[in-house]
Amino acid sequence: MEGEPYLVALSHGYDQTRNCLYFHCAPEGKKLIYAKANPKVWGQAVLDFGVTQECDYAYSSVHFNGKLSLITDLNEKKHGMEVLIRQASL
């Protein structure tokens, strides 16, 4: 683990007003071990629109970096889950 990068796929929700990405994970496990050891993150989100013509593929992507913070406040956790659910329903 020490000095090694860790890549993981996550469900996420973006709150544009707070310029914040929310992720959900189990209360323990490898993701949290890595996050606590090094909260610096880099990621990519892709919207896949599939094949649009014979040799054309439509997608949109964004890269981001930042610092991961673990949320302990119950109201903030609720807000984060609402953001995740709203985005999943799009």
pLDDT in tens, 23-73: 988 889 988 888 888 889 888 888 888 888 888 889 999 999 999 999 999
Q: Would you say the pTM of this structure is higher than 0.85?
A: no
Residue 48 lies in a domain: yes
* Total structural domains within the chain: 1
Task: Tell me whether residue 23 is in a domain.
Answer: yes
**Residue 22 belongs to a domain:** yes
**Which residue did the predictor score with more confidence, 46 or 81?**
81
The answer to the question of residue 1 being in a domain is no
Does the residue 3 lie in any domain? no
- Note whether 8 and 26 are within 8 A (CB): no
Q: Which domain holds residue 70?
A: 12-88
pLDDT(1) > 80: no
The Cα–Cα gap between 26 and 30 comes to: 10
| Helix, strand, coil distribution of the chain in percent, nearest 5 | 25, 40, 35
Residue 67 lies in a domain: yes
The answer to whether 84 and 20 have CB atoms below 8 angstroms apart is: no
